[in-house]
Structures are given as C-alpha cells and as structure tokens.
C-alpha cells in the first residue's frame, strides 16, 4: 500500500519498470548553449508602483538635499556643473553636487536601453539590457582557494586558470574582469597581464582596468590593437566596473576612469557596494534608495562626456551579522532588495547589473550553495542584464574558489533552463502522450517521450543523480570533491581559442613597452 509520496513513487517505478537510457554524453547539459540568454519568463515584480515611486522620490531627495561629494576631479565637476548641478566647494578639490529632482533621469535619456558588447569571436558578442541576461565570473577577490591548497593570495597563474575555466563553461557568456587579484604582478602593471589573459585565453567579451585612468586607457588601447581603432570608436568592446565610494561619494580616480571609458565610447558599470548598517541604512527601502541615487549620479557622468555611451545601472546589497558586525552575503534581505532594484531599472529603461552567486561561506559547502542560489535567483528573477559574480564567489568575496567556480557555472546552466520557462503548445501539452496508452500505463515508450527525452530536461554535468548504491560504490563523493576533480579535468582539456599571431605580438609588444616605461609599484 502506498504510504504517501515516496511509496507512490516507488510503486510506480516497480510497476512501470525502467527503460535503459543511452549514455549519450558525459554531461554537457541539455539546455542549448547560446551567447547569452534571452529570458522567456517575466521578471518578478514584488513592489507596487506607489512604493517604487516613494523610493525614487527618496533617491531624488538624497540627490537634491544631501547631494554627492565629488573628490579630486575638477573636470568631472565642471561637467556636472555645466549640466545644471549645483556645486559647492567644501575643501581643496572637494565639492558637493546637488541635483534637482529628475535632472539625472533627463540626462540619462541618451543612454542606450540595450547595447552590444562585442567579443573578438563575433558569435560570442553579448547583448546587454532588455530581456537579455549575461553571466560573468566573480570579480575582485584578493585570495583564491581550492580543496587541495586552501586559501592563499591570488597569482597571475590563478587568474589565467580562472579565465580558462570560465571559457570552458558553456554557461557563462562573458569573461569578467579581475577574476582574482594577481598579487604577484606589480599593482601598476597587472592590468596589462589581466587584459591580455582575457584576450589570449578567452574569445568572449571582458572588463578592463579601473584602478587608475592610465590603466583604463591602456585597457582600451589593447582593444584597439585587437579590434582596430575605428571599430573601437564606434562599438563597445570593453567595459569598466566602477564602484561609488558609499555613502554618497564619487572618488576622482573613479570619475576619471568613467570619463576615459565613456570618451572612448566604451561601457561602464556604476556600482554602489552597499553594506547595510556600515555604508548604507540597514532597512532595505533606504538601501535601495541610496543605491539608486549613487548609481544615477555615476551613470549620468557618461552621458555628459559622450551622449549615447553605454552605462549600466548597478547595485550590490549585503547585510550584516548582528553577532559579529561582519558583512553577510546571500541572505534574504539583499535578495529582496535586488528584485526591487530590477523594477527601478526598468522604470529608467537602463540595463542593470545586480546580485550574483554571493556567499559568506569559506568552503563550497551547503551554506555556500544555498546562499548562492538565493542571491542568484534574485538576479535572474529580478531582470538583471549583466550578472557579474555569477561563478566562484566565496568567503564574502575575499576568495575566488576553483571548486565553487565549476559548481556555480553548473548552476548557471540550470538557470538557462529555468529562464526558458514553459512552452505551451499542442505538442508540449501532450494530450496524445496520455491518450496513447491510457490510465495506469507508464509513458517510457510513448512516442511523445521518445521524441522529447533527450532535450526535455537540464542535464547537470556535476550533480550526482544516481541511486544511492551506485553513488556509494563510486566512492560516495560530495559535490565539492567532484568539483575538485572537474576543474582539474577542465584545465587539462582546455584549448585556447585561436588568436591572430600578429595581433598577439602587437599586444605583447605594447605590454612590454608599457612595463618598461615605469618602475614597479607594489601598493
């Protein structure tokens, strides 16, 4: 007698028997690989128009009454002033900018709602904005970790490995930027090696340096070598990921970097990195309002430099542990905040970067994947268009993990299937499948099953879906240990995409000259 769910299921399996499925592949996954995702399900809109308007009004009030502090960039100050901002001197090279309600929105009307970032492989160019979703690996960790060697400072070898692993995954769309800090390369030269690694080991689009205006310029220059200067002037081929200095400050190095990318017609991401209770209010509504205000002020600068330059609104929300005061990632409040940020971005008609595979865990364990999934779901459900930190994020972003990278990319594959939603048509409604044999008869051998079984379901390359006994006989490994074997296999099997030799030489020559021109700096 069936005793609830499980017996019913097993009853069915006994009665229906089992059809042997072909071992068709070692797990590439069933969702179709594509250069980026075009979502087929709506976004998850959780807040009313009225509440959204109140958040926007608060952002406007912050910008008009408190304002943004701008430091060390007189040129940016002049641009804002010319556009109508009220500017007050508050110290040597420090200004307070105030913006009338609606002014920044007006300025941003020239920013594209959707744009293409071109990859050196044209089949891998990504479309950012609208219903498109682009996954890129995690960004900015000083440490790396794996199960064999634990946590250690990142090196350029790690950096290259992460670029290769990302390139190996069919479920990422973009090579990202500072996939880890290559701490064994001088601070003032590592941007050259990073940009080169993206170009050499990936054929996808990528992010350039933002740590100094001349490094931003070098990044764009290397793209001119790769794509040709004319192409670069009229197409977005690189982007910079810029943080505001929360709360409510724009640092001159940041604004100079933003100006560099915008002047070159290249893309930029404008990210307030908000830790609730530290640099932002710890109530979600206020955190979102502040994030919106800061990102708007930063985005607008691009249009003052070059109207039409691609700009991405962005948010990064994190919470705080009551007990330790530490920042926490992958928690529910930031996930909810990200959904709201999605609604606000759509009202502005701007592309959005938001959330990612966030976690505070120090291992690729259950905590890591639970937190990641909560955070990542908010990105894809909330309509984020560019999801940096889609893979590898551990340790509150202090570490990039080899194992988590492959676990997360596998999850990204599942999210392809998720975002495909439900197709409803005569065939998928499958009346004939049930009618063919009728009640009580399993469907293994129906025409409908035979027609669909190879493509119906996402097929993870990493999850173990075998019966307990088989799994146990094969060593009873947990998913982190399987991921450890997988990244090593992927690195062993990695093949670099072809790169024109003349271009390669020109890039290496450019880098050599740049490196020779200045002494090493280590801070």
Q: Which of residues 453-512 bind a second copy (CB under 8 A)?
A: 453-454, 456-460, 462-468, 470-472, 476, 478-480, 483
Tokens at residue 68, please?
């943004």
In the bound state with a second copy, the residue whose beta carbon lies nearer, of 250 and 350, is 250
The dihedral built from the CA positions of residue 26, 27, 32 and 37, taken in this order, carries a sign that is negative
Figure out which of the listed residues 32, 38, 229, 435 binds a second copy, where binding follows CB under 8 A. Answer: 435
HEC profile of 246-272: CCCEEEHHHHHHHHHHHHCCCEEEEEC
- Among positions 198-217, residues that touch a second copy (CB under 8 A) are 209-212
Helix (H, G, I), strand (E, B) or coil at 385: coil
Residue 441 and residue 453: Cα distance in Å, rounded? Answer: 17
Q: How far is the CB of 208 from a second copy (least distance, A)?
A: 11
Figure out which of the listed residues 151, 235, 488, 515 binds a second copy, where binding follows CB under 8 A. Answer: 151
Residue 292 and residue 55: Cα distance in Å, rounded? Answer: 9
In the bound state with a second copy, the residue whose beta carbon lies nearer, of 417 and 506, is 417
Q: How far is the CB of 501 from a second copy (least distance, A)?
A: 31
Residue with tokens 């006989």: 473
Q: How far is the CB of 317 from a second copy (least distance, A)?
A: 11
Residues β-bridged to residue 79: none
144 φ/ψ sector (left φ>0, alpha ψ -120 to 50, else beta): beta
In the bound state with a second copy, the residue whose beta carbon lies nearer, of 517 and 523, is 523
Site string for a second copy, 99-138 (x = CB under 8 A): ----------------------------------------
- Among positions 218-277, residues that touch a second copy (CB under 8 A) are 241, 243-249, 251, 253-254, 271, 273, 275-277
**φ and ψ at residue 259, rounded to 5 degrees:** -65, -35
Figure out which of the listed residues 91, 92, 325, 519 binds a second copy, where binding follows CB under 8 A. Answer: 325
Q: How far is the CB of 499 from a second copy (least distance, A)?
A: 26
- Among positions 332-351, residues that touch a second copy (CB under 8 A) are 332-333, 335-337, 340
In the bound state with a second copy, the residue whose beta carbon lies nearer, of 214 and 504, is 214
Tokens at residue 168, please?
């190996």
Binding part of the chain for a second copy, among 160-168, 344-352, 389-397, 493-501 by CB under 8 A, reads 389-397
Figure out which of the listed residues 195, 232, 374, 405 binds a second copy, where binding follows CB under 8 A. Answer: 374
Figure out which of the listed residues 285, 485, 491, 506 binds a second copy, where binding follows CB under 8 A. Answer: 285
- Among positions 396-415, residues that touch a second copy (CB under 8 A) are 397-399, 407, 411, 414-415
In the bound state with a second copy, the residue whose beta carbon lies nearer, of 227 and 296, is 296
64 binds a second copy (CB under 8 A): no
In the bound state with a second copy, the residue whose beta carbon lies nearer, of 295 and 318, is 318
Burial class (CB in 10 A: 0-12, 13-18, 19+), 141: buried
Helices (H) and strands (E) in the chain, counts: 19, 20
Closest CA to 274 of 296, 246, 248: 246
421 binds a second copy (CB under 8 A): yes
- Among positions 17-46, residues that touch a second copy (CB under 8 A) are 18-21, 23-25, 27, 30, 41-42, 44-46
Alpha-helical segments (H) within 421-462:
426-429, 431-437, 447-452
Residue 279 and residue 436: Cα distance in Å, rounded? Answer: 63
In the bound state with a second copy, the residue whose beta carbon lies nearer, of 13 and 109, is 13
Alpha carbons within 13 angstroms on the beta-carbon side of residue 338 total: 35
Site string for a second copy, 162-181 (x = CB under 8 A): ---------------xx--x
In the bound state with a second copy, the residue whose beta carbon lies nearer, of 16 and 112, is 16
85 contacts 98 by C-beta, under 8 angstroms: yes
Question: What does 26-53 look like in DSSP terms, one character per residue?
Answer: S---SSPP-SSEE--S-----S-HHHHH
Figure out which of the listed residues 125, 141, 219, 295 binds a second copy, where binding follows CB under 8 A. Answer: 141
Question: What does 475-486 look like in DSSP terms, one character per residue?
Answer: T---HHHHHHHH
Residues β-bridged to residue 276: 280
Q: If you compute the radius of gyration of the chain from its CA atoms, what whole number of angstroms results? A: 24
316 binds a second copy (CB under 8 A): yes
In the bound state with a second copy, the residue whose beta carbon lies nearer, of 116 and 331, is 331
In the bound state with a second copy, the residue whose beta carbon lies nearer, of 35 and 182, is 182
């Amino acid at each position: 007698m069936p005793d609830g769910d499980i017996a019913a299921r097993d009853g069915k399996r006994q009665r229906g028997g089992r059809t042997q499925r072909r071992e068709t592949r070692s797990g590439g996954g069933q969702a179709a690989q594509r250069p980026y995702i075009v979502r087929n399900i709506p976004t998850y809109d959780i807040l009313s128009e009225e509440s959204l308007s109140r958040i926007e009004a608060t952002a406007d009030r912050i910008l008009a009454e408190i304002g943004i502090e701008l430091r060390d960039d007189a040129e940016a100050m002049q641009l804002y002033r010319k556009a109508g901002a009220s500017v007050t001197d508050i110290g040597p090279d420090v200004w307070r900018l105030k913006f009338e309600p609606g002014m920044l929105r007006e300025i941003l009307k020239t920013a594209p709602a959707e744009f293409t970032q071109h990859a050196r492989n044209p089949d891998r160019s990504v479309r950012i904005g609208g219903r498109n979703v682009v996954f890129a690996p995690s960004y900015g960790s000083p440490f790396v970790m794996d199960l064999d060697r634990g946590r250690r400072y990142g090196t350029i070898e790690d950096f290259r490995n992460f670029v290769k692993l990302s390139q190996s995954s069919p479920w990422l769309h973009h090579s990202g930027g500072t996939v880890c800090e290559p701490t064994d390369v001088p601070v003032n030269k590592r941007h050259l090696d990073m940009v080169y690694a993206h170009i050499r080991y990936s054929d996808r689009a990528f992010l350039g340096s933002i740590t100094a205006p001349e490094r931003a310029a070098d990044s764009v220059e290397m793209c001119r070598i790769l794509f040709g200067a004319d192409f670069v002037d009229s197409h977005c081929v690189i982007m910079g990921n810029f943080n505001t200095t929360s709360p409510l400050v724009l640092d001159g190095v940041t604004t100079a970097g933003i100006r560099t990318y915008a002047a070159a017609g290249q893309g930029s991401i404008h990210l307030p990195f908000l830790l609730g209770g530290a640099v932002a209010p710890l109530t979600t509504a206020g955190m979102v309002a502040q994030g919106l205000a800061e990102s708007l002020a930063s985005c607008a600068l691009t249009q003052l430099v070059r109207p039409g330059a691609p700009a991405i609104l962005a948010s990064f929300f994190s919470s705080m542990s009551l007990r330790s005061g530490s920042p926490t990632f992958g928690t529910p409040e930031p996930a909810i905040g990200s959904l709201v940020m999605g609604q606000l971005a759509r009202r502005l008609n701007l592309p959005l970067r938001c959330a990612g595979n966030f976690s505070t865990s120090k291992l690729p364990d259950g905590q890591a994947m639970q937190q990641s999934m909560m955070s990542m779901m908010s990105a894809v459900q909330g309509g984020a268009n560019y999801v940096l930190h889609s893979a590898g994020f551990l340790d509150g972003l202090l570490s990039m993990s080899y194992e988590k990278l492959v676990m997360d990319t596998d999850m990204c594959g599942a999210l392809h299937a998720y975002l495909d939603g439900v197709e409803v048509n005569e065939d998928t409604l499958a009346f004939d499948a049930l009618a063919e044999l009728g009640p009580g008869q399993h469907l293994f051998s129906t025409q409908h099953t035979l027609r669909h079984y190879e493509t119906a379901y996402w097929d993870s390359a990493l999850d173990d879906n075998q019966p307990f006994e088989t799994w146990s006989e094969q060593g009873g490994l947990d998913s982190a240990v399987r991921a450890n074997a997988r990244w090593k296999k992927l690195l062993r099997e990695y093949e670099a995409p072809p790169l024109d030799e003349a271009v390669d030489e020109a890039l290496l020559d450019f880098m050599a000259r740049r490196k020779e021109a200045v002494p090493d700096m280590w801070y």
